[in-house]
Amino acid sequence: MNRVVITGLGCVTPIGSSVAAFRESLFAGRTGISPIVNVADAPEGDPGVRYKQAAQIFDFDPAQHLDSGIATATNRNAQLAIVAARQAAEQAELLQHHAPGDIAIIMGCACGGRATEESEVKNLYTRNARAHPLTIVRTMSSSGASNISIDLKITGPTLDISTACASATHAIGLAFQMVRTGMSTAAICGGQEAPLSWGFYRAWDSMRVVSPTQCKPYAANRDGMTLGEGAAMLVIETFESAQARNATILGEIVGFGMSADANHITQPQAEGAAMAMRKAIADAGATPDDIGYINAHGTGTQANDATEAAAIHLVFGERGSQIPVSATKSLHGHSIGASGALEALATVIGLQDGRLPHTAGVDTPDAALNVDLIINEPRATGPTIALSNSLAFGGLNAVIALKTYTGK
């Protein structure tokens, strides 16, 4: 089986629309969470919900990146995906070194083109209007994956995975397996999501799991999640192909684990999350003692954080209270289908720089969770293996294991 290394990164996120900007915000603890504004079609742009903030991207103009034909045939989610994928492909010199048919595009996107979905339905129901002819292609969840293929002229296996909050981690894991087994020599993998529409805000409001202010993952006073949007991409390829052309290797994917809770449509279960973590560790050929950092799913809800902490203790036993943990949703919010990709990006950057990102906005970790939560500032680390957890609604769990690349 091939070793799988990371040679390109790209992103458009609430904390930076380039990897350099993302990195700077990550280590400065500068969040992208701000008051919700300008929600399309909502009275005075206000969605009328109990929570007031979200992680929004303000510096993205599709006209700067896409010609009018592509811009009109896509919603924001696919537009973010195209731009982030371009960054990663350029850094990796992907098309210079891999045949188009040998490259896979595996994306996570759960919500698709919500803005179009809502506006078209509104027009239909209120005035029996005709649908815009591009409604279907704007709204389909696979739009991001397809448009990356079209934009970069990649003809290999291209697909979208939709598993709610675990979509992007599932996508990265599948791409990893495809490159590891040689089905593809390289892949662009990650996720995109731009779900911040009026109806989406209201649907989440009714679930009563969104923080009135902002998420404080693993904190004693945590009171819910913060919604967000964004796209993040990794280019991965075989170690041999990267080495052959002396590519800069940014990190390595070493394992992937999946499980399902088989329990409840919204309430997570520790045993399910623990199984996915154990499988990722075993798939990496490692033991729990080898894990030096966990990028938690850490949404900031009472249920998730308590369950995830319990899962950590099930897997790691006594070490469970000693492994550094942080939740970067405190910075970039919860972008649903894309969140696993933003967290993978944060983890890769953290391992590469030897600095583990901290959990912003948390003064007092919940002692009952009994984890070593990184707060206040990043923490130095040597080379290690990290887990990035995604624990989704419906009990779908995906965990990837990432390793610092040390030059060999």
Partner 1 sequence: MDDVSQRTIEIIAKAKNIPADSIKPETSFEEINIDSLDKINISFEVEEAFNIEIPDEALGSLKTVGDVVNGVKQLIEAKAAGSASAS
Site of interaction with partner 1 (CB under 8 A): 50, 206-208, 264-267
Active site residue 334: yes
Among candidate residues 170, 297, 332, 358, the one labeled active-site is 297
Q: What backbone torsions phi and psi does residue 125 show, to the nearest 5 degrees?
A: -75, -30
CA angle (150 as vertex; 149, 154 as ends), nearest 5: 40
HSE-up of residue 364 (Cα within 13 Å, Cβ side): 6
Active-site residue, selected from the candidate residues 11, 109, 111, 165: 165
User: Residues of 255-286 as b/e, b for ≥16 C-beta within 10 angstroms?
Assistant: bbbbbebeeeeeebbbebbbbbbbbbbebbeb
Closest by CA to 227, choosing from 241, 250, 211, is 211
Q: Count the residues in the chain.
A: 408
Q: What are 380's strand-pairing partners?
A: 355
Nearer to partner 1, 211 or 295 (CB): 211
385-392 and 291-295 beta bridge pairing: parallel
* Cα–Cα dist 303/12, whole Å: 29
The tokens for 387 are 């887990």
Rounded least distance, CB 224 to partner 1, Å: 9
For the question of residue 297 being annotated catalytic, the response is yes
Smallest gap from Cβ 198 to partner 1, in A, equals: 18
Q: How far is the CB of 367 from partner 1 (least distance, A)?
A: 21
Closer CB to partner 1, residue 206 or residue 287?
206
CB of 362 to partner 1, least distance (A): 21
Q: Tokens in use for 335?
A: 């972008």
Q: How many CB atoms lie within 10 A of CB 58?
A: 10
Encoding tokens for residue 342?
């933003």
CB of 30 or CB of 50, closer to partner 1: 50
Nearest-approach distance from CB 199 to partner 1, in angstroms: 15
Select 267 or 364, whichever has its Cβ closest to partner 1: 267
- Gap between the Cα atoms of 308 and 99, Å rounded: 41
Q: Which residues are catalytic, by number?
A: 165, 297, 334
